[in-house]
A and B are shown apart, each in its own frame.
Chain A
Amino acid sequence: MNWEKIGDFLLSFKKKSIYLGMFILVSIPLIMKMSTRTYITEEVESIYDKVEEVYEYNQENPNDKQAIFVSIDFAPSSKAETSPMLNALLRHAFMRDIPVLGWAGVRTAADYGIERLNSVAKEYGKKYGEDYIYLGIAYPFLQAVLSLNSDVRIFSSTDYYGTDTYEIPIMKQFHSYNNIGLLVSISSTSLSELYIQYSNTLFDQDVAAGVTAVNAARLYPYLQSDQLVGMMGGLKGAAEYEQLVNKLEKKVIGEDVKNYLREFYKKKDPSEYEKKYYEPKFTETQLINKMNSRKLARMGMSSQAVAHFYVIILIIIANVGYFIKRKYE
């Protein structure tokens, strides 16, 4: 056998054919709409448990509720990983009637954040200003994160829409770390680390993070030192949370979520809802999108798995080629 030739062949794949392989392999699971189940890690489950804890606390203390603060710290460029996390977290909070406060930690997320909040709030009939609020951009960041210690309204004199924050009902009760049960930074930047540095270190605020996989490994030490309550890392973390929330949804709402959503606004008076935030009805396309968004991360995971194996095989092929050549040269 001509080993040298085999070695040459194994090392000769062109860039473009590698690219083409990637295109094809990633597309197949997507076309077949395969969605996988994934295992749950402790890091993700502890965020879920913490949100449940806030829910139970609110049940017991209806006059002294706690809110969840969501900081949307990712640019649209990494929404593939972070947006499913945000979706799942918001669904969890709204399903459990937990007040949600949000802002964008990075400028490019400003409009994305409000779009996501309104869209998920619509699924549960939550009202802007009463059940949730969006404060626009947390810029400059240091000032923003410090103001939460006393009163965030000093920093944010108006919300995203330009309304005076002193006139917004939800802000009367929730404006500082005192009433925030959990702060979650969903981020593609180093902002989650800054929340640890300021909110957690200075003010003992419970902080959790949802980060892109690039940043995930770096944050593991914070989990062990309990500076982070929990962490969702990359699409895998998002898929886990999504799975946990879907399970809860089945328990709270029932098996047929689509039908539930379809009927949701039919029984309600549309004049109760301001159109500025969302239209109180679902079109069929929207329903399909809503159902798809419930398995967004898990659908991606199948393609993800295929791509991982593809690259592992490529690396092995290249190494086998390399060793054959080295041996016979």
Chain B
Amino acid sequence: MGTILWSTFAVFLTLSIFSFLIKDNPFYKFAEHLFAGISVGYLVVITFTQIFIPRVWKPLMNSIDTGNILRSAFLIIGVFIGLLYLSRASNKYSWLSRYPISIVVGFGSGFAIAPSLNARVLKQLHSTVVEDGQSLLNIQKIIAFFRDPSFSSLYNATYGPLLVIGVLVVLIYFFFSFKNDNPVIKYTRTPALLYMMVGFGAAFGYTFMARISLFVDRMNFILNRWWPLIQNKLM
């Protein structure tokens, strides 16, 4: 019985939010505000039970128990600096929260420089030159196509060159987007735009797919999970 009541409430909330599609109304406002409260309440629970206790309190207690004074002091200073986040509640002292922020942001930025550059730039450039140890501009694949013309050999022959050209023209487009008479910049504009439009079109198609999935899931919940429950109860 409990499940039916809870599920029915879930359906009520779902429909309340959908009712916004007709127009703003008290049901929607209720659901929206309930959501804000419940989400932040949930955040409080998680922060306390899953972050503060296991990640801060227990390690601190452990190091105090084992008599490691230096480490305990070190952690207590950390906790103290962390507590400065609470100064956000006051308008006058909110600048104190800049201390923890500056440490976290500073450390994060410094640490991220090398791996980010490596993952996003160096490795990407590298694989624009070689894939699986082979050059992407492989003349042999083009010869192979002329020897035995077929869709798959055409794909193999054009794959590397099209990818390399694509990356280059779009990079040129991004870095020299101002008006320029340099022939390289001038004549790569149109192909760059074509690549971009096809790429963004694909991204749009995927985005659309994602949005629909969310709606399908809600309808699936109502039609295939909640409704059978009610049906069973009535019959």
Residues of A within 8 A of B (CB): 16, 19, 22-23, 26-27, 30-31, 33, 77-81, 107-108, 110-111, 136-137, 139-140, 142, 155-158, 160, 162, 193, 196-198, 200-202, 212-214, 216-218, 221, 224-227, 233-236, 285, 288-289, 292, 296, 299-300, 303-304, 307-308, 311
Q: Known interface pairs A201-B118, A308-B212. Does A79 touch B217 (Cβ–Cβ under 8 Å)?
A: yes
Choose from A157, A216, A221, A292 the contact partner of B62 (Cβ within 8 Å). Answer: A157
Q: Are B22 and A197 in contact (CB under 8 A)?
A: no
Give the nearest-CB partner of A20 in chain B. Answer: B21
- Inter-chain CA distance A296–B217, complex, in Å, is 9
In the assembled complex, which residues on chain B have CB atoms less than 8 Å from the CB atom of A235? Answer: 209, 213, 216
Sample (20) of A-B pairs whose CB atoms are under 8 Å apart: A27-B223, A80-B213, A80-B217, A80-B218, A81-B210, A107-B46, A107-B51, A110-B46, A110-B50, A137-B51, A157-B62, A162-B54, A197-B116, A197-B120, A213-B213, A233-B206, A235-B209, A288-B228, A304-B213, A311-B208
Give the nearest-CB partner of A157 in chain B. Answer: B58
Q: Known interface pairs A157-B62, A224-B127. Does A197 touch B115 (Cβ–Cβ under 8 Å)?
A: yes
Q: Are B115 and A198 in contact (CB under 8 A)?
A: yes
B42, B53, B123: residue with the most chain A Cβ atoms closer than 10 Å: B123
Residues of B within 8 A of A (CB): 21-22, 39, 42-43, 46-47, 50-51, 53-55, 58-59, 62, 104, 108, 111-112, 115-116, 118-120, 123-124, 126-127, 131-132, 163, 199, 202-203, 206-210, 212-220, 223-225, 228-229
* Interchain pairs with CB closer than 8 A, number: 145
- Inter-chain CA distance A216–B21, complex, in Å, is 28
**Min C-beta distance of A25 to chain B, whole Å:** 10
- Inter-chain CA distance A80–B217, complex, in Å, is 5
- Inter-chain CA distance A214–B127, complex, in Å, is 24
Q: Are B208 and A217 in contact (CB under 8 A)?
A: no
Q: Known interface pairs A139-B51, A214-B207, A218-B203. Does A234 touch B223 (Cβ–Cβ under 8 Å)?
A: no
In the assembled complex, which residues on chain A have CB atoms less than 8 Å from the CB atom of B213? Answer: 80-81, 213, 234-235, 300, 304
**Min C-beta distance of A46 to chain B, whole Å:** 13
Q: Are A308 and B124 in contact (CB under 8 A)?
A: no
Classify the secondary structure of A's interface with B: helix
Q: Are A224 and B131 in contact (CB under 8 A)?
A: yes
- Inter-chain CA distance A303–B218, complex, in Å, is 12
**Min C-beta distance of A192 to chain B, whole Å:** 12
Give the nearest-CB partner of A297 in chain B. Answer: B213
**Min C-beta distance of B213 to chain A, whole Å:** 4
Q: Are B217 and A300 in contact (CB under 8 A)?
A: yes
19 extra interface residue pairs, beta carbon distance < 8 Å, beyond A136-B54, A201-B119, A213-B207: A26-B215, A30-B216, A78-B214, A81-B210, A81-B213, A137-B46, A142-B112, A157-B55, A157-B62, A162-B53, A200-B119, A212-B210, A214-B207, A217-B206, A221-B127, A225-B124, A234-B209, A303-B220, A307-B216
**Min C-beta distance of A296 to chain B, whole Å:** 8
**Min C-beta distance of B195 to chain A, whole Å:** 13
Choose from B47, B59, B132, B217 the contact partner of A157 (Cβ within 8 Å). Answer: B59
Q: Known interface pairs A33-B224, A139-B51. Does A217 touch B199 (Cβ–Cβ under 8 Å)?
A: yes
Q: Are A227 and B216 in contact (CB under 8 A)?
A: no
A27, A197, A289, A311: residue with the most chain B Cβ atoms closer than 10 Å: A197
- Inter-chain CA distance A198–B54, complex, in Å, is 23
**Min C-beta distance of A240 to chain B, whole Å:** 14
In the assembled complex, which residues on chain A have CB atoms less than 8 Å from the CB atom of B111? Answer: 142
Give the nearest-CB partner of A224 in chain B. Answer: B127
In the assembled complex, which residues on chain B have CB atoms less than 8 Å from the CB atom of A81? Answer: 210, 213-214
Q: Are B54 and A157 in contact (CB under 8 A)?
A: yes
**Min C-beta distance of A116 to chain B, whole Å:** 15
In the assembled complex, which residues on chain B have CB atoms less than 8 Å from the CB atom of A311? Answer: 208
- Inter-chain CA distance A234–B208, complex, in Å, is 11
Choose from B43, B115, B123 the contact partner of A107 (Cβ within 8 Å). Answer: B43
**Min C-beta distance of B136 to chain A, whole Å:** 10
In the assembled complex, which residues on chain A have CB atoms less than 8 Å from the CB atom of B43? Answer: 107-108
Give the nearest-CB partner of A22 in chain B. Answer: B215
Give the nearest-CB partner of B22 in chain A. Answer: A16
Nearest 5 CB-CB pairings of A with B: A80-B217, A225-B127, A213-B210, A217-B203, A213-B206
